Amino acid sequence: MMADMLQVAKRELKIGFRNPWAYSFLALFSIFSLCLIFINSQNIVQGYSGTTGSMLSLILYLLPLMTLFLGSFSLTAEKEEGSWQLLSTYPLGTLSFIAGKYIGLSVVLITIVAFGYGVLGIVGQIAGTGFDFETYFLFLAFSVGLVLLFLAIAMIVGSLSRNRWQAMTNSVAIWFFLVVGWSTILIAILGSLPYLWIKPILVALTFVNPAELVRLFVVIKLGGGSVLGPEYYEWVNWVRQSSGTFLFLGVCIAWIVISMGLVYWIWERGRSRG
Amino acid sequence: MKNKFMKWMRLTIAILFVSVASSLFGSAQANTTEAPAKALQLLIDNAMPGDTIVLEDGKYLGPAIINKQLTIKGSRHTVVTADGKPTVIDIRSNQVAIEGISIVQRLAGDSSAIIVNSDHVSLDNLSIETRGFGILLRNANEGIIKNNRIVWSGANNNERASMSKKNNGIDLYDSHDNRIEANEISDMRDGIYLENSHRSNVANNLIYRSRYGIHCMYTDGTRIIGNQGEYNVTGAMIMGVRDAVVSNNSFRKQSENVNSQGLLLFDVQTSLIEDNVVEGNRVGIYMEQSSNNELRNNSVLRNFMGIQFLESSDNRFNHNQLIANVIEAEALESSGNRLDSNYWDSVQGLDVNDDGLSDISYAINPFYQRLIQKTPAFQLFFQSPGMIYLSNLFMNDKDNWATDRTPLMSLPPALADRTNLPQETRSYVWIASLILLSASLTIIYKGVHRK
Amino acid sequence: MKKWTLGLTLVLAIAVLTACGGKKYEAVPINEEVDVCAICKMQVKDDAYATQLTTKDGKTYKFDDIGCMNEWKKTNGTENIGMDYVRDYNDKEWVEYKKATYVYDASLRTPMAYGIVSFKDKKAAEDFIAEQGVGKLMKADELVSHTWEQNKESMNMGDMHGDGDMNSVMSGDSMEMTEK
């Protein structure tokens, strides 16, 4: 089973790096973050400031979209090109297939992110607008976390979509909902609820949105937690300690496991229906 | 567990050391260290007005009341304590001077190291360790308090205490025309507290890890110049003040507390706030219910929120530099303020007539501020990507927003020093980025060429 | 999609339960780490001068001085207030605003210099006046007609250095503030 999974992952890697989409995202990500570094050509990138704030926003726009596209397309391609139908005839477990897909895709995506940060770090150093090490590391971890969480969503999207076009529409809709529309929608809905309900519901829903979850985690770890105000003071104090890191990792793992379970269920159902 | 163990270890080592030392030096040593502390009051009572008392190194016992014109001198190793009395030294005569000695107040609460009830007193180069107040001035005018070091005594053993258990470093009430200069104050409640005390000159002090660095309540003509504040809840809290001058101060890294600010102005009128640097604070400059002030040439750098105006009108805000703040400015219910010629690093200006000023104005969107004022829980959306998008949707009544009519196109070169952070060595980032780049290239290469 | 709705209903249900459980008003403790006065923005110390009010929709505002709470009521009205509390001067117990007894004197030092302290019973207030030698005893309804003037100027006029003019300007300003 392990061997099957690795086989699928290796295959995914090969397909992934022959996919022109991967390189266009790689270029896009590198160019945009370089632009930010040059705009902020006087200051060291450290802590929570205007520079790190806008980098955070850029990453929040770009990485989820990239992950949703690459992830969901990879799954729909299996269906469209008929390779899944072929694979189904082999004694290949659905779980091995899905886990292999997830691992392979995450290696591809993390490689893109690593390339971007590598370029960013080196050019930043040369240009004299370097990163503080802790901030650099935190941003890298933040991006990887974002990719892994959105990859889980992307696999659900890919499983539910029949073809590439459907996957793209669904991806954009989900991206818009979670990244761009989230606060607008929540403000509209929660604004009409009684005052005392707003905070608990908001906190609960934040755990449901990986983009917000990861963003808040980074803001707090960058030392910007006080900007969230007295309402979240206890949360912030807690997240700043290592207990917060463990909570975050726990939530991420729960997210990925639950989504994979869902994906497994969808494919298993499809397989039995043949 | 580990802490407890270390404590025991330390204690054991200390006991060992003391016992070895005492057995080595025997009774001769005991004579000098355990000599009874001399009563300071006795020396004062025996002195004539105008005398100078020079204290030797060693312990002196207070409390002492100085009721004649005297000068008391000594060294750091001259330590005056009060053995549980609320005041160590009580100055009741004019023209008293105390120089160079150490004072320790171990009693917590409303106790103090020194209380001054008289005029023209000079306190110079003292080292004060206290659990209550440091220096109290009550109805004391035209004094000079300079080069003193005041620290909350718990800080030495890494104790933690809530702010209400601490007291102020230098505390003035009903005391006018005093000069408070070049003092270093840490871990107190408020570093320098002025209430109903006018025309004080507070200059070149350094205050850190306290609640409010400098705190003015109902003072007129206060001059706050060249002070530094770091890691306080708020660098300077200026409240109920008229005709103050706040200039050349630097307030950095007041960002830990949910209510932190670099500089807070509340009910401040006709004052000048000039040439200050506020860097890395939660809010750089916060102003509420203040009017007719002039804020100019301040550097507002890398704060979570650069400036925040609430219910403040008719102020002038010009030639300030706002750089790398997460949110540059918020203004609510603040009309009639004149903003011009500030440098906002996020402004994409357009200078048609080449006068260095943008012809496109810069307006401050109050949407977020209004939202969180109504529902503080929405602060969770601070600068979330969707929030930026949403704010841009609410552009109606833009004419009523606080607006810089003529933003500066570029940063004046003379200010480059002030706005830059010192560059540190960041070789780790070099190594890390090289590893990342080579690793990703290897994976891509291997991935593509794997059969 | 079903899972989503289920989760949302669950969250809503919990929220409803917690919200309905707390219909009775209760004074909340002061947290010096985060609480600032809703009016003057100073830290609210956990001392006898702290006051608080809870609106009918459950929002709690804390104040460092009863004068600041009075300012809030003047700006926002009192119709929406569910309950308001002051503290007993001696043991810091929370007392309903209406039931407390108050002592005013311009010379009493309070955080925002309004000079009013509160007591849970009349006896304690009278003892305080006897001990201080000054003070005017008031009930909550008498506070309505109180001037709410802040003591922004020193008591010892003899020590003022030619500040007579400024003094009159100041009191004029504080009148203006209280009437806003």
Interacting residues of B367 by C-beta distance below 8 A, sequence separation 6+: B390, B391, B394
CATH class of B36-306: mainly beta
> Is the pLDDT at A90 greater than 90, yes or no?
no
Using DSSP, state whether B399 is helix, strand or coil. Answer: helix
**A229 min Cα distance to partner chain C (Å):** 8
Share of residues in chain B with pLDDT > 90 (%): 62
What pLDDT was estimated at residue A121?
86
List CB contacts (< 8 A) between B379 and chain A. 227-229, 231-232
Mean pLDDT, residues C36-56:
92
> Is the pLDDT at B366 greater than 90, yes or no?
no
State the count of interchain CB pairs (< 8 A) between A and B: 194
What pLDDT was estimated at residue A18?
85
User: Measured between CB atoms, does C159 come within 8 Å of chain B?
Assistant: yes
What pLDDT was estimated at residue A173?
96
Contact C119, C140 (CB under 8 A): no
> Is the pLDDT at B319 greater than 50, yes or no?
yes
Instruction: Select from B141, B220, B239 the Cβ nearest to the Cβ of C40.
Output: B239
C107 exposure class (CB count in 10 Å sphere: 0-12, 13-18, 19+): exposed
Instruction: Select from C16, C36, C59 the Cβ nearest to the Cβ of A195.
Output: C59
Share of residues in chain A with pLDDT > 90 (%): 52
User: In the structure, what pLDDT confidence band is assigned to residue C1 with cuts at 50, 70 and 90?
Assistant: very low
What pLDDT was estimated at residue C162?
35
Interacting residues of A43 by C-beta distance below 8 A, sequence separation 6+: A49, A51, A129, B302, B323, B324, B420, B421
User: In the structure, what pLDDT confidence band is assigned to residue C13 with cuts at 50, 70 and 90?
Assistant: low
What pLDDT was estimated at residue B226?
96
Contact C43 B233 (CB under 8 A): yes
Q: What is the DSSP string of C106-135?
A: TTS--TTS--EEEESSHHHHHHHHHHHS--
Query: A90 or B67: whose pLDDT is higher?
Result: B67
Q: How far is CA C109 from CA A75, C48, C153, C167, in A?
A: 72, 12, 12, 19
For C78-91, what is each residue's pLDDT tens digit?
899 999 999 999 99
Mean pLDDT, residues B174-194:
96
What pLDDT was estimated at residue A20?
87
> Is the pLDDT at B26 greater than 50, yes or no?
no
Tokens encoding B441: 């290239």
What pLDDT was estimated at residue B9?
54
Q: CA-CA distance, A208 to B232, in Å (whole number)?
A: 36
Tokens encoding B324: 């790398």
Most confident among B7-16, B152-161, C19-28 (mean pLDDT)? B152-161
* Mean pLDDT across chain A: 88
Contact A42 B420 (CB under 8 A): yes
For strand B192-195 and strand B170-173, is the pairing parallel, antiparallel, or unpaired?
parallel
Phi and psi at residue A256, in whole multiples of 5°? -70, -45
In whole angstroms, what separates CA B227 from the centre of its chain? 8
List CB contacts (< 8 A) between A233 and chain B. 258
Percentages of chain C per state (helix, strand, coil), in multiples of 5: 40, 20, 45
What pLDDT was estimated at residue C131?
92
Domain range holding C90?
A: 24-154
Angle at CA of residue B109, ends B164 and B194, nearest 5°: 65
List CB contacts (< 8 A) between B198 and chain C. 163, 166
**C168 min Cα distance to partner chain A (Å):** 40
> Is the pLDDT at B14 greater than 90, yes or no?
no
Contact B174 C154 (CB under 8 A): yes
Q: CA-CA distance, A178 to A159, in Å (whole number)?
A: 19
Contact B239 C32 (CB under 8 A): no
What pLDDT was estimated at residue A46?
73
Phi and psi at residue A60, in whole multiples of 5°? -65, -30
Q: Residue C90 domain-assigned?
A: yes
Query: B20 or B98: whose pLDDT is higher?
Result: B98
Q: Residue C164 domain-assigned?
A: no
What pLDDT was estimated at residue B45?
94
Instruction: Select from A195, A204, A230 the Cβ nearest to the Cβ of C11.
Output: A204
Q: CA-CA distance, C41 to B212, in Å (whole number)?
A: 12
Residues 22-51 of chain A whose Cβ lies under 8 A from any Cβ of chain B: 40, 42-44, 46-51
Name which of C43, C46, C151 to mutate to probe chain B: the one with the most chain B Cβ atoms within 10 A of its Cβ.
C43
> Is the pLDDT at B83 greater than 60, yes or no?
yes
* Residue written as token pair 């790689």: A26
Q: What's the total number of domains in chain C?
A: 1
Contact A111 B345 (CB under 8 A): no
Mean pLDDT, residues C105-121:
91
Contact A200 C12 (CB under 8 A): no
Contact C19 A196 (CB under 8 A): yes
* Mean pLDDT across chain C: 78
What pLDDT was estimated at residue B334?
85
Other beta carbons within 10 Å of A273: 6
- Helices A133-160 and B427-449, axial angle in degrees (round to 10): 30
What pLDDT was estimated at residue B185?
97
User: In the structure, what pLDDT confidence band is assigned to residue A78 with cuts at 50, 70 and 90?
Assistant: confident
Instruction: Identify the closest residue of chain B to A213 by CA–CA distance.
Output: B380
For B218-256, what is each residue's pLDDT tens digit?
999 999 999 999 999 999 999 999 999 999 999 999 998
User: Measured between CB atoms, does A265 come within 8 Å of chain C?
Assistant: no
List CB contacts (< 8 A) between B164 and chain C. 32, 45-47
Beta bridge partner(s), residue B272: B245, B294
Q: What DSSP character marks residue A211? A: H
C176 exposure class (CB count in 10 Å sphere: 0-12, 13-18, 19+): exposed
Mean pLDDT, residues A73-82:
88
Q: Residue C105 domain-assigned?
A: yes
Contact B250, B229 (CB under 8 A): yes
Contact A68, A61 (CB under 8 A): no
User: Measured between CB atoms, does A197 come within 8 Å of chain C?
Assistant: yes
Other beta carbons within 10 Å of B247: 19
Q: How far is CA B211 from CA B167, B189, B195, B215, in A?
A: 10, 5, 16, 9
* Mean pLDDT across chain B: 87
For strand C101-104 and strand C136-139, is the pairing parallel, antiparallel, or unpaired?
antiparallel
User: Measured between CB atoms, does A205 come within 8 Å of chain C?
Assistant: yes
Name which of C154, C160, C167, C169 to mutate to probe chain B: the one with the most chain B Cβ atoms within 10 A of its Cβ.
C154
Q: Which of A42-46, B109-113, B309-313, C44-48 has the lowest mean pLDDT?
A: A42-46
Contact C161 B176 (CB under 8 A): yes
Mean pLDDT, residues A79-103:
83
Torsion of CA B63, B66, B67, B71, to 10 degrees: 170
**B426 min Cα distance to partner chain A (Å):** 7
What pLDDT was estimated at residue A160?
93
Instruction: Identify the closest residue of chain A to C58 by CA–CA distance.
Output: A196
Beta bridge partner(s), residue B179: B144, B201
Chains in contact with A, where contact requires at least 3 CB pairs less than 8 Å apart: B, C
For B45-66, what is each residue's pLDDT tens digit?
999 999 999 999 999 998 999 9
Q: Which of B26-35, B414-423, C5-14 has the lowest mean pLDDT?
A: B26-35
Residue of A59, A46, A56, A45 whose CA lies nearest to A216:
A56
User: In the structure, what pLDDT confidence band is assigned to residue B420 with cuts at 50, 70 and 90?
Assistant: low
Name which of B136, B218, B220, B378 to mutate to probe chain C: the one with the most chain C Cβ atoms within 10 A of its Cβ.
B218
User: In the structure, what pLDDT confidence band is assigned to residue A47 with cuts at 50, 70 and 90?
Assistant: confident
Other beta carbons within 10 Å of A89: 7
User: In the structure, what pLDDT confidence band is assigned to residue B397 with cuts at 50, 70 and 90?
Assistant: confident
Tokens encoding A103: 């691992």
What pLDDT was estimated at residue B27?
41
Whole-model pTM: value is 0.85
Other beta carbons within 10 Å of B427: 11
For A167-212, what is each residue's pLDDT tens digit?
999 999 999 999 999 999 999 999 888 888 899 999 999 999 999 9
Contact A142, A224 (CB under 8 A): no
Interacting residues of B57 by C-beta distance below 8 A, sequence separation 6+: B74, B75, B77, B78
Q: Which of A47-51, A246-250, B182-186, B276-280 has the lowest mean pLDDT?
A: A47-51
What pLDDT was estimated at residue A35?
82
User: Measured between CB atoms, does C46 come within 8 Å of chain B?
Assistant: yes
Q: CA-CA distance, B89 to B19, in Å (whole number)?
A: 35
Q: How far is CA B108 from CA A112, B148, B401, in A?
A: 59, 20, 49
Contact A107 B439 (CB under 8 A): no
Q: What DSSP character marks residue B49? A: T
* Residue written as token pair 């203004």: B331
Residue of B166, B189, B239 whose CA lies nearest to C113:
B239
Interacting residues of B187 by C-beta distance below 8 A, sequence separation 6+: B151, B152, B154, B155, B166, B208, B209, B210
In whole angstroms, what separates CA A70 from the centre of its chain? 12
Q: How far is CA A134 from CA A46, A59, A130, A218, B439, in A?
A: 8, 18, 12, 12, 20
Tokens encoding B122: 């000079």
Chains in contact with C, where contact requires at least 3 CB pairs less than 8 Å apart: A, B
Residue of A155, A57, A56, A162 whose CA lies nearest to A106:
A155
Mean pLDDT, residues B108-116:
94
User: In the structure, what pLDDT confidence band is assigned to residue B416 with cuts at 50, 70 and 90?
Assistant: low
